[in-house]
């Protein structure tokens, strides 16, 4: 009982420290896991899309796309402003509640067509135009035509601040627009657009985002009703609930910077979005469609437009038109289908709770059941995170919860292993795990080979190491780490044994092996090089396989050194350890470190024995750690 209490105490203290350390590091370096967490967020969108459980796209939204078909049929890639004006007039004839024109008609030197555009805006009476705000301190002030005096006042500091206007339509068009909304989008660190800003403060005025201004015009919503307690909170007071004639206070789930996470409705192909039309149909078809009560987004979605930044990567598509990002954001407000991110405190609470359960099962269950239970916990949490997103739009943090649990699992496993080794003993492996079948046959015939002290022999030592495996191990699931090592070690062992090599030991993700000579013939260098080239070929095949599965890029470095060393059973009688001792071992390790991924690096002695049969390139004399003089090194072609 005393031993059991001590064991539990060690588990509790050790895991508490591990949990505190990981949570502390995550708090100090919040961006460390960000890239992987963002990919997990995207995978939830794709899973939801595959299950056909994405939220419905609002029927009150219409897209008029100036697409490749429209450009081709018109016979010109660059349309005159009179053509745009005619298109806007035709859209207005369909009687939409608002037209969100995601095309910026700046003050060009060429003024022809400006009057037609202004007249089209007057005829429509509900045209919403875009502009770009400028966050830089030395930004140009907002033009008078923007009419910020008519916007609600907003206390500086309660929303993101813009210093001025970067680009805007020409003044006459701004004056005749029913509203102006900014179209700035800030991608996440990986370049993907997952969120849109809701509003900014400019010259003390509340300036709405493009989609929010368009909705305000469509629903006849007064921007004065917007309540902004702080940067992370916005309440749309008395916001209309479409189709009911009722209003309600709509609290928007924003991030800490006032951005709304876009709940992309899909589908993947914009051509299959509801109510999406080619602009050419509006310009040529005799019958006018009925857009009554709808908000129309007009945008250039052609290939030419994508060259000017009108498309962005999203969780569902690498080239998604920005107009559809705005319409997806508008659809969220019309359908109440939001993404609600849970705070970091939730991750801490769940990690502590599951960590306590992990300590309990670590102390109670046998090793196999312990590992199975922990794996089940991790899988279950991931399933809950995906299910909560798919069913309710709740965005649960994944890596901030899984990472401390994995670290706790590793600590508990190491502790259990140490306990098992201390009280029950653990076999460290048999000679068959390290020696080639040929050498095993020799040992059976002549056991004196394993006599204590070994013998001085001329050998070739090989040191192989996986590139960037430490970084991979810090982020990967333990099972994936194990799978990679098992595949790597299994392939390496078969190749080494095929060349009559001896595996001295596995060192983390590295392999130390050596090759002896047959009688007086110096064959160790040739067999070692052949072995190294086969290992690199296997590594390339593994890398192709992993990349096809979007997994860890796999590459190894190999160093070969030839020289004299002590070979044999080194150590106490109680432990048979057929190994090698000598500076040639250290040299092989340093040569490996000096190589590039996928390389085989040789010392001068090894090169001497293989240069006649292999393509060898001199890399010159290099300073290697632990060697007083520069060492001449070579690389052998792996092609």
- Over 80: is that where the pLDDT of 62 sits? yes
**Cβ proximity of 132 and 166 under 8 Å:** yes
- Over 70: is that where the pLDDT of 422 sits? no
**Cβ proximity of 280 and 74 under 8 Å:** yes
Q: Kindly report which listed range (185-189, 262-266, 361-365, 427-431) carries the lowest average pLDDT score.
A: 427-431
Helix (H) or strand (E) holding 236: strand 233-241
Q: How far apart are CA 509 and CA 535, in angstroms?
A: 14
Quick one: pLDDT at residue 436?
A: 59
- Over 60: is that where the pLDDT of 516 sits? yes
The CATH number of 431-636 is which of 3.30.70.1230, 1.10.1240.10, 3.40.50.970, 3.40.50.720? 3.30.70.1230
* Tens-place pLDDT, residues 356-396: 888 888 877 887 888 888 899 989 999 999 999 998 889 99
pTM of the model: 0.62
Quick one: pLDDT at residue 330?
A: 95
Q: Kindly report which listed range (10-19, 147-156, 176-185, 540-549) carries the lowest average pLDDT score.
A: 10-19
Q: What average pLDDT does the segment 181-195 reach?
A: 92
Q: Kindly report which listed range (183-187, 327-331, 504-508) carries the lowest average pLDDT score.
A: 504-508
Q: Which tokens in the block code for residue 544?
A: 């192709």
Quick one: pLDDT at residue 7?
A: 57
* Tens-place pLDDT, residues 428-467: 334 555 565 666 666 656 655 556 567 788 889 999 999 9
Mean pLDDT in the chain? 85
Q: What are phi and psi of 168, to 5 degrees?
A: -150, 160
Quick one: pLDDT at residue 199?
A: 94
Domain boundaries, given as residue ranges, for the chain = 2-49+342-423, 58-223+260-336, 431-636
- Over 90: is that where the pLDDT of 250 sits? yes
Q: How far apart are CA 398 and CA 39, in angstroms?
A: 11
Q: What are phi and psi of 608, to 5 degrees?
A: -60, -40
Quick one: pLDDT at residue 1?
A: 35
Helix axes 399-423, 34-50, angle to 10 degrees: 110
Cα angle: 477, vertex 379, 508; to 5 degrees: 15
* Tens-place pLDDT, residues 132-145: 999 887 777 778 77
In 3D space, the residue among 503, 477, 495 whose CA is nearest the CA of residue 533 turns out to be 495
- Over 60: is that where the pLDDT of 206 sits? yes
């Amino acid at each position: 009982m005393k031993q059991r209490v001590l064991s539990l105490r060690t588990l509790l203290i050790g895991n508490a420290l591990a949990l505190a350390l990981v949570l502390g590091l995550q708090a100090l370096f919040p961006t460390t896991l960000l890239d992987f967490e963002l990919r997990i967020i995207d995978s939830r969108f794709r899973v939801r899309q595959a299950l056909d459980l994405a939220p419905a796209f609002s029927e009150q939204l219409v897209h008029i796309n100036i697409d490749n078909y429209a450009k081709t049929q018109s016979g010109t890639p660059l349309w005159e402003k009179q053509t745009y004006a005619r298109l806007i007039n035709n859209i207005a004839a369909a009687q939409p509640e608002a037209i969100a024109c995601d095309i910026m008609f700046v003050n060009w030197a060429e003024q022809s067509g400006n009057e037609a555009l202004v007249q089209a805006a007057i005829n429509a009476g509900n045209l919403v135009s875009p502009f770009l705000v400028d966050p830089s301190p030395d930004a140009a002030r907002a033009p008078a035509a923007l009419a910020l005096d008519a916007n609600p006042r907003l206390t500086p500091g309660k929303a993101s601040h813009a210093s001025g206007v970067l680009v805007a339509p020409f003044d006459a068009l701004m004056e005749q627009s029913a509203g102006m909304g900014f179209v700035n989008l800030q991608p996440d660190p990986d370049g993907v657009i997952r969120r849109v800003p809701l509003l900014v403060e400019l010259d003390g005025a509340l300036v709405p985002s493009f989609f929010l201004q368009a909705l305000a015009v469509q629903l006849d919503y007064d921007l004065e009703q917007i309540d902004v307690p702080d940067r992370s909170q916005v309440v749309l007071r008395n916001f209309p609930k479409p189709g009911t004639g009722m209003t309600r206070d709509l609290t928007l789930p924003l991030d800490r910077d006032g951005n709304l996470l876009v709940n992309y409705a899909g589908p993947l192909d914009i051509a299959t979005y509801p109510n999406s039309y080619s602009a050419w149909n509006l310009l040529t078809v005799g019958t006018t469609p009925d857009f009554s009560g709808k908000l129309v987004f007009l945008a250039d979605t052609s290939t030419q437009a994508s060259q000017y930044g009108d498309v962005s990567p999203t969780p569902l598509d690498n080239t998604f038109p920005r107009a559809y990002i705005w319409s997806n954001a508008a659809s969220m407000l019309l359908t109440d289908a939001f993404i609600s991110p849970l705070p970091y405190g939730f991750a801490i609470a769940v990690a502590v709770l599951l960590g306590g359960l992990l300590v309990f099962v670590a102390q109670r269950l046998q090793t196999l059941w312990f590992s199975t239970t922990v794996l089940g916990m991790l899988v279950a949490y991931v399933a809950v995170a995906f299910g909560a997103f798919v069913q309710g739009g709740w965005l649960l943090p994944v890596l901030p919860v899984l990472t401390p649990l994995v670290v706790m699992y590793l600590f508990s496993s190491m502790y259990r292993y140490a306990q098992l080794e201390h009280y029950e003993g653990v076999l460290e492996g048999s000679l068959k795990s390290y020696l080639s079948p040929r050498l095993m046959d020799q040992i059976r015939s002549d056991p004196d080979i394993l006599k204590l002290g070994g013998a001085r022999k001329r050998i070739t030592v090989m040191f192989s190491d996986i590139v960037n495996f430490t970084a991979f191990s810090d982020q990967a699931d333990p099972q994936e780490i194990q799978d990679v090592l098992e595949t790597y070690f299994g392939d390496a062992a078969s190749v080494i044994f095929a060349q009559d090599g001896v595996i001295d030991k596995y060192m983390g993700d590295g392999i130390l092996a050596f090759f002896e000579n047959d009688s007086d013939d110096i064959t160790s260098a040739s067999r070692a090089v052949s072995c190294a080239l086969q290992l690199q070929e296997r590594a390339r095949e593994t890398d192709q396989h992993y990349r096809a599965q979007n997994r860890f890029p796999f590459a190894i470095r190999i160093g070969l050194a030839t020289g004299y060393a002590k070979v044999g059973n080194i150590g106490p009688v109680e432990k048979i350890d057929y190994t090698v001792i000598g500076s040639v071992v250290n040299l092989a390790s340093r040569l490996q470190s000096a190589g590039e991924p996928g390389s085989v690096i040789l010392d001068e002695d090894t090169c001497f024995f293989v240069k006649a049969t292999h393509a060898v390139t001199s890399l010159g004399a290099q300073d290697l750690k632990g060697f007083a003089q520069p060492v001449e090194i070579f690389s052998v072609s792996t092609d």
